[in-house]
Chains A and B, each alone.
Chain A
Amino acid sequence: MPLSALDLVIRIAGWLGAAFALVAGVLTLRAFFDPEAAAAERTGRILLAVATICMTSAIVARSVQLGTVPLSSPLESLFTYGWLVFFVYLLLVRAPERPAVGTLLVPFGALCALAGISGLTAPADVQPILKNPLFAFHALAAFLGYSALSVACCAGILYLVLHDQIAHKRLGRLAARLPSLEDLDALGHRTVISGLTLLTASIVAGMVWAKQEWDVLWIWEPKGIWALLTWAVYAFYLVARNGAGWRGVRAAWLSAIGFVASIFTLLGTNYLLGWGRHVF
């Protein structure tokens, strides 16, 4: 049966990917705390690339199985989210920031992937309405955006930690391991630009899709409202940083606040407010 063969591919590639990612996470942590373990950092990065490839095949297989992107149920989305986080990490984070950002990001992504794959459900009957390329684009862009914004949040947190040490003139061992303030600020800026662009694309695609399906451009419901709010925070980030000189600490706080908002958009609107047309 073609379905069970696909199932096998998904499970094997998915578990392998999650396992590799977990080992990569451990190695990245080790490299961060033990400066002599430079080899660990390199091995960790190679393993992470392998993990990403495995996860990519699992996701492609799952997409074929479902007939749409694997973003239609919470745990599945978690797996996809982990995958996208690695993608962004490997593409957007440069060498000086890699060890420190990776220390937060790689274990986080690995846990997402692990939780996602362990809760993999049988291919439920996906609502036919979701088997639309517009939905695929809408959801994928949103999740890729959130992944970029989680990198921005990491950069922001690290910025605040390092800034605190430099400003209070207490430089500890941690400061020695962190990239420079300017590098972190630039990474935050870079990832917010990518994240915001993707969020915008997602919202626009969602509107076009809604118009197609229900003949309305905008439906007032929690997820939509919160998505707009999140969008506004990051738009404010760009305007304030580039226009009003809010670089540094203020930008770092904004990227952290924006990320809390985006987490709420992603999960809170479903689990706390719990209504709306967004299945997930």
Chain B
Amino acid sequence: MQICLAGLSHKTAPLDVREKIAVAREDYGHFLAEIAALPAIAEVAVLSTCNRTELYAAAHSYHAGRHSLELALADRARAAGVELGESVYHQHGPAAARHLLRVASSLDSLVVGEPQILGQVKDAYRAAHETGRTGIVLDRLFTHALETGKRVRTETAIGACAVSVSSAAVELAKKIFGALSGRHALVVGAGEMAELSLRHLYEAGVRDIVIANRTRDTAEALAASFHARAVGMDEIGAALAASDIVITQAASPEPILGRAAFERAMRERKNRPVFVIDIAVPRNVESEVGQLYNVFLYDVDDLGRVVEGNLARRSREAEHADQIVEHETARFVKWWEGLDVVPTIVALRAKLEGLRDQETQRLLTRLDHLSEADRRLVEQFAAQLVQKILHDPTSQIRNAGEAERCSALAAGLRYLFKLEDASPADATPLEEPADETKQAEPRS
């Protein structure tokens, strides 16, 4: 069984191609069924986000599998009327597994460390699993990828620091104030970024929000969704003294808030700290305000620099994450390489145990003068003999190393013991090779 991957992502295809190829949630079932009907495909799953569309398959052979996936993507491109050109990449075997592990760990994301991808991988897997398109190989691969993604999130700081302006603003607010619940905020202007920052702050517990805007209606519309109070621009000065966090994004050629206004406010609030986030360009707050005692003023450039620093830190963490992915890939590959062998061992065991039972029964009917204890002794003898005979070939084949060598040995076993019906393709899936190992231990 081969693992094949074909796909396109933000690294290879522009957005207008990606958005046309992307699979909508309700189309998953249909698309999966289409791929599954193609030659050589045993299992299939599709991961489709705004940044990537990737097809994962377990195929009977690599070439046939690759061809089928290529076909599926080409059909989709033709239907959508886009040219795929060079944008499709292919992987197979361990490289395909590593790719999915990297994707789930958000190492392949546009913004390394972004948290959404893990949920998207989970959804993709669920869609394929629930329609019965995955089997032993992809089930294991996706579960392993999800576990790896979780490990990377908990063991590295890859997602720890904010990489957007609005989340960086909230992180800074937390560094200044600690818990944000019960803090007061003032929003001047109703720009998109201001709203986004406010949403982050609201989620972090900021209440008592005052929104000031030139057009009262806009302010009131925004205020409604945050249980906030809308005021006119002339009331800013009064609201300033009560505000711990001030966000400004009003369109104005001149600064709206000057040093004098803040000096007054700071006197009134006895120098309790104020965090001013000025996202407007040109700026709404005079830069001298930042020199006032206990006023922390960050403009959009300052926040941008914080974000840049955090991105650099993330890429350092990504190196650590890469090591985790390598380790987990190796673990998966080890399992996968043993996969061909498992059905053969199961069949061999079944055959020998069948022979054992058959022959013991025959012998015992002829030895009916034996006492109950002696009969049990004979049964034990037979069981142990079979166990001992099986032990060496089982452990040898497991430890044979590379996949090809294992497969060759398994084929040899199947030929020598006439285990025809044990070809790996239609073998009964086993949940865990570990369970197999347990069975291989001598029974006490």
Of the residues B155, B273, B313, contact of A248 by C-beta under 8 Å = B273
When distances are taken between beta carbons in the complex, the residues of chain B under 8 Å from A249 are 293-294
When distances are taken between beta carbons in the complex, the residues of chain B under 8 Å from A173 are 313
Instruction: Count A/B pairs, Cβ under 8 Å.
Output: 57
How many residues of chain B are within 8 Å of chain A by beta carbon? 25
Of all A-B residue pairs in the complex, the 5 with the closest CB atoms, nearest first, are A245-B271, A180-B178, A245-B270, A183-B178, A169-B302
Question: Is B272 a contact partner of A175 (Cβ separation < 8 A)?
Answer: no
When distances are taken between beta carbons in the complex, the residues of chain A under 8 Å from B175 are 162, 166, 171, 175, 178, 180-181
When distances are taken between beta carbons in the complex, the residues of chain B under 8 Å from A36 are 155
Q: Known contacts A247-B272, A248-B294: does B178 contact A96 (CB below 8 Å)?
A: yes
Question: Is B271 a contact partner of A166 (Cβ separation < 8 A)?
Answer: no
Question: Is A35 a contact partner of B157 (Cβ separation < 8 A)?
Answer: yes
CA distance A183 to B179 in the complex (A): 9
* Chain B residue at smallest Cβ distance from A179: B178
Question: Is B296 a contact partner of A166 (Cβ separation < 8 A)?
Answer: yes
CA distance A247 to B244 in the complex (A): 14
Which residues 177-202 of A sit at the B interface, judged by CB distance below 8 A?
178-183
Question: Is B302 a contact partner of A181 (Cβ separation < 8 A)?
Answer: no
Of the residues A35, A169, A178, contact of B305 by C-beta under 8 Å = A169
Question: Is A180 a contact partner of B271 (Cβ separation < 8 A)?
Answer: no
Which residues 151-171 of A sit at the B interface, judged by CB distance below 8 A?
162, 166-167, 169, 171
B160-181 toward A: CB 8 Å interface, digit per residue (1/0)?
1100000000001011111000
Question: Is A248 a contact partner of B293 (Cβ separation < 8 A)?
Answer: yes
Interface residues in chain B, defined as those with a beta carbon under 8 Å from any beta carbon in chain A:
155, 157, 160-161, 172, 174-178, 266-267, 270-273, 293-294, 296, 298, 302, 305-306, 309, 313
Q: How distant is A120 from chain B, measured CB to nearest CB, in Å?
A: 42
When distances are taken between beta carbons in the complex, the residues of chain B under 8 Å from A179 are 178
Of the residues B176, B272, B309, B313, contact of A180 by C-beta under 8 Å = B176
When distances are taken between beta carbons in the complex, the residues of chain B under 8 Å from A245 are 266-267, 270-272, 293-294
Question: Is B157 a contact partner of A166 (Cβ separation < 8 A)?
Answer: no
* Chain B residue at smallest Cβ distance from A178: B175
Q: How distant is B109 from chain A, measured CB to nearest CB, in Å?
A: 22
Question: Is B178 a contact partner of A176 (Cβ separation < 8 A)?
Answer: no
* Chain B residue at smallest Cβ distance from A242: B270
Known interface pairs A169-B305, A180-B175, A245-B266; 16 further A-B residue pairs with C-beta atoms within 8 A, sorted by A's residue number: A36-B155, A96-B178, A166-B172, A166-B175, A166-B176, A166-B296, A169-B302, A171-B306, A171-B309, A175-B175, A176-B161, A180-B176, A182-B178, A183-B178, A247-B272, A248-B293
When distances are taken between beta carbons in the complex, the residues of chain B under 8 Å from A247 are 270-273, 294
A246 near B: Cβ within 8 Å? Answer: yes
How many residues of chain A are within 8 Å of chain B by beta carbon? 23
* Chain A residue at smallest Cβ distance from B161: A176
When distances are taken between beta carbons in the complex, the residues of chain A under 8 Å from B313 are 173
* Chain A residue at smallest Cβ distance from B175: A180
* Chain B residue at smallest Cβ distance from A162: B175
When distances are taken between beta carbons in the complex, the residues of chain B under 8 Å from A167 are 296
Could you jot down 19 A-B contacts, CB within 8 Å? A35-B157, A96-B178, A166-B175, A166-B176, A169-B298, A176-B161, A179-B178, A180-B174, A181-B175, A181-B177, A182-B178, A245-B266, A245-B272, A245-B293, A246-B271, A247-B271, A247-B294, A248-B293, A249-B293
CA distance A10 to B377 in the complex (A): 68
CA distance A183 to B157 in the complex (A): 23
Q: How distant is A102 from chain B, measured CB to nearest CB, in Å?
A: 17
* Chain A residue at smallest Cβ distance from B294: A248
Q: How distant is B324 from chain A, measured CB to nearest CB, in Å?
A: 12
CA distance A183 to B293 in the complex (A): 18
Question: Is B271 a contact partner of A248 (Cβ separation < 8 A)?
Answer: yes
When distances are taken between beta carbons in the complex, the residues of chain A under 8 Å from B306 are 169, 171
**B267, B296, B298 pick with most chain A CB within 10 angstroms:** B296
Q: How distant is A124 from chain B, measured CB to nearest CB, in Å?
A: 48
CA distance A141 to B74 in the complex (A): 82
